[in-house]
Amino acid sequence: MLRTEERQRLARERREEREKQHAAKETQILEKERKAKLQYEKQLEERQRKLKEMKQKEEQRRAAVEEKRKQKIEEEKERYEAVLHRTLERNQRLETRQKRWSWGGSITPDSEGKTASKRSPSTANLKQAEAAVSKHVSSSAALLNTSDRTRRSQLSPLDSSVISRLLAPTQASLARSKSAATLSAD
C-alpha cells in the first residue's frame, strides 16, 4: 500500500512538473507572440511614416517643378513681350524714317498753308515748273518700274520696299530740280 501511494505521489509530482513546464512554455510562446506583434506594429508604423514622408517629398518636388515651369513660362512671356516691343519700336522708327524720306516728306497741310502765304508772286512760275518736273520724274519712274518689275518680283517684300525707297527721289533732289526749272524758265 505504501508503495502504491508512493507511486501515485511521484506520478502526481511528475504531472505537476510537466504542467508547470507546459505552462512556462505557453507563457514563453505568448510572450514571443506579443513581442512579434509589437515589432510588426512598429514596422508597420515605420513603413507608414516613411510612405508619408515620401509623399510629402514628392509633393514638394512636384510643387517645385510646377513653380519652375510657371517661372520659365513667365520668363518666356516676358522675353517674347520684350522682343515684340523692340520689333514694334523698330518698325515705328522705320516708318518715321520712311515718312521723313518719302515723296511727301513730313509736310502737313498746316505747314503748307503757312509757307504759301510767305511765297512771292513768282510762285505761279514755280508751280508750273514743279508740275513739269514731277511729270518728267513720274514718267521716268514708270519706265524704271516696268523694267525692274521682273527683278523685283523675285525679291522679298522688305527688299522690294527698300529698293523702291532708294529709287524714289528725295526732297533735296526735287528742290534742286525745281530751282533749276525756275532758273531755266526765267
3-state secondary structure the chain: CHHHHHHHHHHHHHHHHHHHHHHHHHHHHHHHHHHHHHHHHHHHHHHHHHHHHHHHHHHHHHHHHHHHHHHHHHHHHHHHHHHHHHHHHHHHHHHHHHHHHCCCCCCCHHHHHHHHHCCCCCHHHHHHHHHHHHHHHHHHHHHHHHHHHHHHCCCCHHHHHHHHHHHCCCHHHHHHHHHHHHHHHC
153 close to 104: Cβ distance less than 8 angstroms:
no
User: Looking at the predicted structure, is the pLDDT value of residue 114 above 50?
Assistant: no
pLDDT tens sequence across 56-89? 999 999 999 999 999 999 999 999 999 999 999 9
127 close to 115: Cβ distance less than 8 angstroms:
no
Assign 163 a pLDDT band (cuts: 50, 70, 90). Answer: confident
Assign 24 a pLDDT band (cuts: 50, 70, 90). Answer: very high
